[in-house]
Amino acid sequence: MAAPLASPIHSVVAAATIDLAVLFLTSYFLANLVCSSSGTKQFFAGVSTVLVAIVIIYAVRIPPVDRSVVDKVLPPNKVLIVGHRGGGYDAPENTIAAIRESKKNGADGVEIDLEFTKDGVPILLHDATVDRTTDGQGPIKSFTFQEVRKLNASHGHRLSEKFPNEQVPTLEEATEECLNLGLKIFYDVKGNARQAAKALTELFKKHPSLYENAAVCSFYPDVIYMVRMTDPSIVTALTHRPGDLTYDITGKPRDLEWWQRHTAPLADMFIHWAHHSWLWYVCGNSAFVIWKNEMSQQVKAFWAHRGIQLISWTVNSATEKKLYEDFLKTNYITDCLSGDCHESKN
């Protein structure tokens, strides 16, 4: 008979103990390298490092949102199907049309991308430039809101004839549309931690129903930490893809400077360890947005032991969707709600 799984608390304690032991040994051996005296000083250097780390983590940690609230945003017994970039395969991405199509095609929610114009207006846009998704060119930071309003957000989309002349919506417009349609919202923030935290916390206060129907997600821990520092009642999720600094989403090495090529793999290893070790705890996260290639029952159990729900991206084929709905029973983000799409815009 198979041995029973360790209890959640035992699993977390064991993992934390291993991390602290590694920290102690690292400090001990580093002290050995710089000190020529007896091992007593090195031993206490290791102990002191561990104690300081524990104190810092507890001092800066933000407690997580109450589980009863999290369960309203991410119902534990339901697989949420979320439209990626509003549902960017079935309609121009990050537009009101995409949000409406997602609802029409059975989505439970949408993931939308937050950016800011030159004059500080929060809008929906995935890239740092307007080139790919509109008929304009240049960084979004070089456009005022009035200039962005003149751009055609349907430009280049496969269904541009069906959805001509879509505008780039404001964060407020998109949020109101989602709430009116009964869609959950997953705000993906690319950076601008202070600016994003201010815009999002003001939005949540203006629309209190967001606390039970929306979450803020980001690759950047400073964004999540700033949002939760500003308003600890907001449900948040860190996003992570292993090797993100070294390889792009297709697996090709990024075009980096020579020194970056040597440091990026080390940075990726540290980030991966930090995500699975203490970042989720310090930020008080309630969920983790995980790359689909990393998903498994073991990974799901790892995060479940920590009270963390999972959302996987980008699940596009019919086979993948069936896997998530029937076997993994895990929330997922998809480009297409109307069927099977093999075009993945990760």
What pTM was estimated for this model as a whole?
0.88
User: Is 89 strand, coil or helix?
Assistant: coil
> Is 236 in contact with 287 (CB distance < 8 Å)?
yes
Each residue of 172-183: b (16+ CB within 10 Å) or e? bebbebbbeeeb
Q: What is the DSSP string of 164-192?
A: TTPPPPBHHHHHHHHHHHT-EEEEEE-S-
Cβ proximity of 227 and 87 under 8 Å: no
Pairing of strands 109-116, 122-124: antiparallel
The pLDDT of residue 50? 62
Grouping H, G, I as helix, E, B as strand and the rest as coil, residue 311 is strand
The pLDDT, as a whole number, for residue 20 is 56
d(CA 270, CA 243) in angstroms, rounded, equals 10
Please tell me the predicted confidence (pLDDT) of residue 7: 47
124-176 confidence digits (pLDDT tens): 999 999 999 999 999 999 999 999 999 999 999 999 999 999 999 999 999 99
Residue ranges in the chain whose pLDDT is less than 70: 1-51, 53, 342-346
